[in-house]
Amino acid sequence: EDGYDLWLRYQPLESAAKARVAPAVRYFVASTDRPIIAAAADELKRGLAGMIGAAPSQREKIDQAGGILISTDEVAFEVAGRPSGLGDEGYAIRTRNVSGKPTIFIVAHSDVGVLYGVFRFLRLLQTGQSIDNLDIIDAPKLKVRVLNHWDNLDRHVERGYAGLSIWDWQKLPLHKDPRYVDYARANASIGINGTVLTNVNANADILRPDYLQKVKALAEVFRPYGIKVYLTARFSAPIELGGLKTADPLDPAVQAWWKAKIDEIYTVIPDFGGLLVKANSEGQPGPADYKRTHAEGANMMADALAPHHGILMWRAFVYAAENAEDRHKQAYTEFQPLDGEFRDNVLVQVKNGAIDFQPREPFHPLFGAMPRTPLMMEFQITKEYLGFATHLAYLGTMWEEALQSDTFRPARGSTVAKVIETPIDAGAATGMAGVANIGSDRNWSGSQFDQANWYAFGRFAWDPDAKAGPIARDWARMTWGNDPAVVEPVVGMMMGSREAVVDYMTPLGLGHLMATGHHYGPGPWVSDLARPEWNPVYYHKADAAGIGFDRTARGSDALGQYAPEVVEAWGNPETIPEKLLLWFHHVPWDYRTKSGRILWDELVTRYDAGVGAVGKMQADWDGLRGKVDTARWAEVRDFLAIQHQEATWWRDASIAYFQSISKRPLPAGHKPPAHDLEYYKAITNPYAPGQAK
Ligand code: BDP
């Protein structure tokens, strides 16, 4: 095994389970003349062939025991007891007797609902659950569940650590790599229903007719799996492709250009999903270049998409060179006043935190603050700031933490999950995007364990109220096997892994301390970059008096962008959760923390706890030798060794640097860094992949 099969390995069940299951899944009935139903039937055959050694046969009707009925028909609903609450994409899986013959019904109102139901049914078997007397109803809580590929047209993946882009533009449209089908299967299995193929730092060329033919070829592969394609649009495309003098959204010629371009896209791809735009952020062109607002820019494109039912995802990740305000505040400052000004088919896409996908950030203050604008969540699946693909960090716990944060807007209990799940009015769009960690590596994600983050993203996009633990458990069972002696340690490693990264990189609410360019190793001393907010020293503000960024009313007052309840709780160092302490407060080095230790000692203790947790993961993994296949086991072992070495690097470099400022001794029992600060400052990392370019 090399990881290519992801969580869809369909390994043989144990003989007892096989004997129990086989009689119940002997044949199926389905309208396989419909492409999505055919894909569902294929998956059912593939899964059962793998797990019980025999693919079910296809029959015309239910006429004997052991049938599976896959259907969207009224009569099937009737027999299945008219399950409600399925919506457009949900499904029910129910056992019913048909003329005395126990039959498994997988029913939905749409073909894609049926496909999701089949994957769910297979998951039951993959995770060792009973399929007797089934009664499952499930439906996605969000409408738009998309991956964002940061893939450039030359196949370099920005912040990608799994090889080249899987989109082989040179060979498309004539050659469609079979891998595209497996990509679609994997996504459909977790309910992802869209993919943005290209980088947010967009190249206008993707909108050229020749590229659109290639995009069309991908759309054809994905269509039977319920996956729509989307593209990123470069705001200045009317100039670059259209030869216009301006991209001003209020200019009629510009509007006409976008309308014609979007009409053209829909002629080529009738079910095209829509566009994603990064504008006036990190050098990208946008409406502000013409003194127009984000809403004016977005609405222009949204108007052109609307007749085709396309949506526009407009990113709120903005911070401007000329703006001296705390970077934490800038997106809110620019977007919140625009609440209610966006067209109905615009989703404003907001990162989980206000800075940038750090190992830990408080939730973004825009959530809950724009009640008249659909906000969609943007998570980063690729681990730009959490050790790339080499460090084991399961992000499910991070996403659960972000989604379960209470915005208190409009009232207690309005969690971020609730905010994004609740349409602003009937029928309005909702969504979640995940920056993909997929590349052309055999194992797709650059490491075995990073597949779990792709998997978990799909599950959270389906249900933002999901819990990280059960998702980790499902993934572990499907990916490594159902033996409890494997599942328990694997889940244990996963559940503690992100906190370990936080501890050895950015404990106690620190953030953005990484080295320049590659974002891999530590660089808390960096202070020479062009823009202040690119420098780690801007974020930790360590000085002789203490450490941390005062974002209370005494400081930048970024905290003031949150609801009063949050301001009250977080405005006081004694009541803010300690894990966010230094994000909002500048506290003295001898500040007394909850453990009774002074802050400096606590910081050192956390760094060591992080390194220690990686050592524990190594020991746990060593215990699994021989219990999982050798090739994948050995890869994980090696990566954990790299992680341990680099966690130690982070710990040592950070302690060496902060000690040069705190001027305090290390607490007893904690060993000094292996080298002096100059040594760590001199380390460059020319090998780090996936940098911006
Ligand atoms: C930052 C990345 C950069 C992205 C940017 C974004 O370093 O490569 O282009 O986010 O999200 O995290 O637009």
- Look up the CATH number of the domain holding residue 317: 3.20.20.80
- Residue 596, domain CATH: 3.90.1330.10
Count structural domains, the chain: 3
Quick one: what percent of the chain has pLDDT higher than 70? 100
Q: Are 429 and 144 in contact (CB under 8 A)?
A: yes
In the reported structure, the alpha carbon of residue 538 is separated from the centroid of ligand 1 by a whole-number distance in angstroms of 18
263 and 116, same structural domain?
A: no
Round to whole Å and give the CA distance between 409 and 155. Answer: 42
Atom of ligand 1 nearest to the CA of 435: 11
DSSP 291-317: T--HHHHHHHHHHHHGGGT-EEEEE--
In the reported structure, the alpha carbon of residue 466 is separated from the centroid of ligand 1 by a whole-number distance in angstroms of 27
Atom of ligand 1 nearest to the CA of 281: 13
Q: Is 378 in the pocket of ligand 1 (CB under 6 A)?
A: no
CA dist 349 to 159, 204, 311, 329, 378, Å?
19, 21, 12, 16, 6
Q: Per-residue confidence at 325, pLDDT binned at 50, 70, 90?
A: very high
The answer to whether residue 4 is domain-embedded is no
Q: Are 510 and 540 in contact (CB under 8 A)?
A: yes
468 and 528, same structural domain?
A: no
Atom 8 in ligand 1: residue holding the nearest Cα: 692
The whole-number average pLDDT for the span 123-139 is 97
Q: Is 516 in the pocket of ligand 1 (CB under 6 A)?
A: no
The size of the chain, in residues, is 693
Whole-number pLDDT of residue 693:
65
Q: Which residues of 521-534 are buried (b: 16+ CB within 10 A; e: fewer)?
A: bbbbbbeeeeeebb
Q: Are 276 and 231 in contact (CB under 8 A)?
A: yes
Atom 10 in ligand 1: residue holding the nearest Cα: 356
The whole-number average pLDDT for the span 197-219 is 98
CA atoms within 13 A on the CB side of 35: 8
The whole-number average pLDDT for the span 138-161 is 98
421 and 533, same structural domain?
A: no
Ligand 1 mutation target, pool 356, 382, 388, 512, most atoms within 8 A of CB: 356
Round to whole Å and give the CA distance between 240 and 224. Answer: 34
Q: Which residue has the higher pLDDT, 690 or 234?
A: 234
pLDDT above 70 for 303: yes
Round to whole Å and give the CA distance between 273 and 230. Answer: 5
Residue 230 parent element (H or E): strand 228-232
Round to whole Å and give the CA distance between 622 and 112. Answer: 41
In the reported structure, the alpha carbon of residue 179 is separated from the centroid of ligand 1 by a whole-number distance in angstroms of 27
First-to-last C-alpha distance (Å) of the chain? 34
The answer to whether residue 557 is domain-embedded is no
Whole-number pLDDT of residue 519:
87
Select which of 248, 384, 533, 608 is catalytic: 384
CA dist 206 to 213, 433, 435, 650, Å?
10, 20, 19, 39
In the reported structure, the alpha carbon of residue 608 is separated from the centroid of ligand 1 by a whole-number distance in angstroms of 30
Final residue before a domain boundary, out of 477, 494, 514: 477
The answer to whether residue 155 is domain-embedded is yes
Round to whole Å and give the CA distance between 654 and 529. Answer: 19
Residue 108 parent element (H or E): strand 101-108
308 and 224, same structural domain?
A: yes
Whole-number pLDDT of residue 679:
97
The answer to whether residue 356 is domain-embedded is yes
Atom 3 in ligand 1: residue holding the nearest Cα: 692
Q: Is 201 in the pocket of ligand 1 (CB under 6 A)?
A: yes
Q: Are 467 and 457 in contact (CB under 8 A)?
A: no
Ligand 1 mutation target, pool 152, 196, 200, most atoms within 8 A of CB: 200
Q: Is 692 in the pocket of ligand 1 (CB under 6 A)?
A: yes
The whole-number average pLDDT for the span 649-653 is 98
Which residue, 145, 14, 91, is CA-closest to 430?
145
Ligand 1 mutation target, pool 149, 156, 158, most atoms within 8 A of CB: 158
The answer to whether residue 384 is domain-embedded is yes
In the reported structure, the alpha carbon of residue 527 is separated from the centroid of ligand 1 by a whole-number distance in angstroms of 20
The answer to whether residue 494 is domain-embedded is no
In the reported structure, the alpha carbon of residue 352 is separated from the centroid of ligand 1 by a whole-number distance in angstroms of 13
Q: Is 145 in the pocket of ligand 1 (CB under 6 A)?
A: no
Final residue before a domain boundary, out of 138, 168, 198: 138
Atom 12 in ligand 1: residue holding the nearest Cα: 356
In the reported structure, the alpha carbon of residue 165 is separated from the centroid of ligand 1 by a whole-number distance in angstroms of 17
152 and 134, same structural domain?
A: no
Atom of ligand 1 nearest to the CA of 385: 12
Q: Is 361 in the pocket of ligand 1 (CB under 6 A)?
A: no
The whole-number average pLDDT for the span 49-71 is 97
In the reported structure, the alpha carbon of residue 78 is separated from the centroid of ligand 1 by a whole-number distance in angstroms of 50
Which residues are CB-neighbours of 516 under 8 A, at least 6 positions away? 523, 526, 529, 534
Whole-number pLDDT of residue 688:
81
The answer to whether residue 247 is domain-embedded is yes
Question: Which tokens belong to 50?
Answer: 């793998």
Q: Are 604 and 670 in contact (CB under 8 A)?
A: yes
The whole-number average pLDDT for the span 465-480 is 98
Ligand 1 mutation target, pool 148, 149, 159, most atoms within 8 A of CB: 159
Under DSSP, is residue 557 helix (H, G, I), strand (E, B) or coil?
coil
Q: Is 520 in the pocket of ligand 1 (CB under 6 A)?
A: no
Dihedral sign, Cα of residue 574, residue 336, residue 280, residue 214: positive
Q: Per-residue confidence at 690, pLDDT binned at 50, 70, 90?
A: confident
Q: Is 158 in the pocket of ligand 1 (CB under 6 A)?
A: yes
The whole-number average pLDDT for the span 650-670 is 98
Select which of 138, 248, 334, 356 is catalytic: 356
Q: Greatest CA span in the chain, whole angstroms?
A: 82
Whole-number pLDDT of residue 691:
75
Q: What is the pLDDT of residues 217-243, one digit of tens each?
A: 999 999 999 999 999 999 999 999 999
517 and 422, same structural domain?
A: no
The answer to whether residue 392 is domain-embedded is yes
The whole-number average pLDDT for the span 189-210 is 98
The whole-number average pLDDT for the span 321-346 is 94
Q: Are 225 and 183 in contact (CB under 8 A)?
A: no
Select which of 182, 220, 251, 282 is catalytic: 282
Q: What is the pLDDT of residues 515-573, one digit of tens each?
A: 987 788 999 999 999 888 899 999 999 999 999 999 999 999 999 999 999 999 999 99
In the reported structure, the alpha carbon of residue 321 is separated from the centroid of ligand 1 by a whole-number distance in angstroms of 15
pLDDT above 90 for 689: no
pLDDT above 80 for 426: yes
Whole-number pLDDT of residue 643:
98
Question: Which tokens belong to 80?
Answer: 């299945």
Q: Is 200 in the pocket of ligand 1 (CB under 6 A)?
A: yes
Q: Is 121 in the pocket of ligand 1 (CB under 6 A)?
A: no
166 and 314, same structural domain?
A: yes
Atom 9 in ligand 1: residue holding the nearest Cα: 201
Q: Are 581 and 508 in contact (CB under 8 A)?
A: yes
Residue 71 parent element (H or E): strand 67-71
pLDDT above 70 for 140: yes
In the reported structure, the alpha carbon of residue 71 is separated from the centroid of ligand 1 by a whole-number distance in angstroms of 43
355 and 266, same structural domain?
A: yes
Ligand 1 mutation target, pool 148, 149, 150, 382, most atoms within 8 A of CB: 150
Q: Is 317 in the pocket of ligand 1 (CB under 6 A)?
A: yes
For 114, the domain range is 15-138
Ligand 1 mutation target, pool 282, 319, 531, most atoms within 8 A of CB: 282
641 and 513, same structural domain?
A: yes
Under DSSP, is residue 621 helix (H, G, I), strand (E, B) or coil?
helix
In the reported structure, the alpha carbon of residue 356 is separated from the centroid of ligand 1 by a whole-number distance in angstroms of 8
- Residue 125, domain CATH: 3.30.379.10
Residue 627 burial (10 A CB sphere; 0-12, 13-18, 19+): middle
In the reported structure, the alpha carbon of residue 158 is separated from the centroid of ligand 1 by a whole-number distance in angstroms of 8
80 and 190, same structural domain?
A: no
Which residue, 214, 234, 216, 129, is CA-closest to 172?
214
Whole-number pLDDT of residue 685:
82
148 and 123, same structural domain?
A: no
Q: Is 384 in the pocket of ligand 1 (CB under 6 A)?
A: yes
Whole-number pLDDT of residue 322:
79
Atom 11 in ligand 1: residue holding the nearest Cα: 317
- Whether 282 is catalytic: yes
pTM above 0.90, yes or no: yes
In the reported structure, the alpha carbon of residue 621 is separated from the centroid of ligand 1 by a whole-number distance in angstroms of 33
Which residue, 574, 653, 661, 660, is CA-closest to 607?
653
Round to whole Å and give the CA distance between 209 and 382. Answer: 30
Peptide bond into 464 cis (omega under 30): no
Under DSSP, is residue 334 helix (H, G, I), strand (E, B) or coil?
helix
Final residue before a domain boundary, out of 117, 138, 159: 138
658 and 635, same structural domain?
A: yes
- Whether 384 is catalytic: yes
For the chain, the average pLDDT equals 97
pLDDT above 80 for 321: no
Atom of ligand 1 nearest to the CA of 692: 8
